[in-house]
Amino acid sequence: MSVTASRLARPEVDFTQPYYIDRAGVLLTLQRANLSSRLQVLFGWAVVSSIVVLGSVLLVVGTFIWLVEHRHNPEQFPPQPLPGIANGMWFALVTLTTVRYGDKASITRIGRGITAAWMVMSLVAVSTLTAGLASAFTVLLSGSTQEQIKDPRALDHLRVAAVEGTSGMELAERRKLRIVATDSLDKGVEAVLNNRADALIFDRPALRYHLKLNPDLAVHVAPFTLAEETYWFVMRWDDPLRTPLDVSILKLQRQGQVEAMVNALLD
């Protein structure tokens, strides 16, 4: 278990050498997006920035094509700036998408050089621009979204579940949070799933292991952590196993086996 000041002060128990150090974690819900939040994805930064970048690039390429082509190819790229640049942008877009309708084509050497360079750049541009769009539309179609709580300070305004008698409860009390007390980890997770609590504070390794055993739960461990937790074995103060356990723990730590065992359980 993790050691707290109140546990360490009990005279009838003793603790071994610490064998693992981690931090207290926070469990949050995975919310299902409603129609409104799904549509907001279409106007999010990923989509808007991709459209702005795409439009700007097409404008630049289209303008260059018009500048070098309109004197020698006025039928396809009129001398007037507005229709000429518009045709240039259409040519750049068709080239970018590799559709190649054939209604517009560059005939000058400089124009063909710009077109060749734009073809090569399009390979990179398409992959870069579609990355943000793909991410946004994945969220739009799946309807899954994570709770937007990315900072411990956000917990100050939430209902936080904590298991009685644990370091998580002491941490919640110390931070003066709105506590929803439970008597087990399962009850704490249930409180979050049933919307009786907005979050759960518990040992991060235990939360990760619980999610490994229950991968279908609509919850996730928050990307931030709280206070540091040190894990020890607890026993009676006069237990003769204390020294042998300390020796074994130190040997395993120096060999790197403790970290490997913990990772094997949690990953």
The CATH number covering residue 116 comes to 1.10.287.70
Q: Which domain holds residue 97?
A: 38-142
Bridge-based pairing state of the strands 159-163 and 199-203: parallel
How high is the mean pLDDT in each 10-residue block of the chain (267 residues)? 80 88 86 54 65 86 91 88 90 80 81 88 72 61 55 86 90 90 93 91 91 90 85 89 92 87 80
The reported pLDDT for the residue numbered 57 is 87
- Check whether residue 159 and residue 203 sit in a common domain: yes
CB-based contact 46:128 (threshold 8 Å): no
Q: Report how far residue 162's alpha carbon sits from residue 168's, in angstroms, rounded to the nearest whole number.
A: 6
- Check whether residue 15 and residue 26 sit in a common domain: no
- Check whether residue 102 and residue 119 sit in a common domain: yes
Q: What is the CATH number of the domain that holds 171?
A: 3.40.190.10
What does 208-248 look like in DSSP terms, one character per residue? HHHHHH-TTSSEEE-SS--SEEEE--EEETT-TTHHHHHHH
The reported pLDDT for the residue numbered 133 is 63
CB-based contact 224:151 (threshold 8 Å): yes
Tokens of 165: 């008698």
The reported pLDDT for the residue numbered 63 is 93
- Check whether residue 92 and residue 44 sit in a common domain: yes
The reported pLDDT for the residue numbered 98 is 74
Beta-bridge partner residues of 234: 15
Domain count across the chain: 3
What does 42-71 look like in DSSP terms, one character per residue? HTSHHHHHHHHHHHHHHHHHHHHHHHHHTT
- Check whether residue 205 and residue 246 sit in a common domain: no
**DSSP run (H or E) holding 86:** helix 81-97
- Check whether residue 192 and residue 100 sit in a common domain: no
- Check whether residue 124 and residue 154 sit in a common domain: no
- Check whether residue 165 and residue 213 sit in a common domain: yes
- Check whether residue 185 and residue 56 sit in a common domain: no
Q: Report how far residue 26's alpha carbon sits from residue 146's, in angstroms, rounded to the nearest whole number.
A: 13
- Check whether residue 221 and residue 149 sit in a common domain: yes
- Check whether residue 206 and residue 249 sit in a common domain: no
- Check whether residue 223 and residue 160 sit in a common domain: yes
Helix (H, G, I), strand (E, B) or coil at 140: helix
Model confidence, pTM: 0.54
Which region holds residue 2: left if phi is over 0, alpha if psi is between -120 and 50, else beta? beta
Q: 208-218: b or e for each residue (b if 16 or more CB lie within 10 Å)?
A: bebbeeeeebe
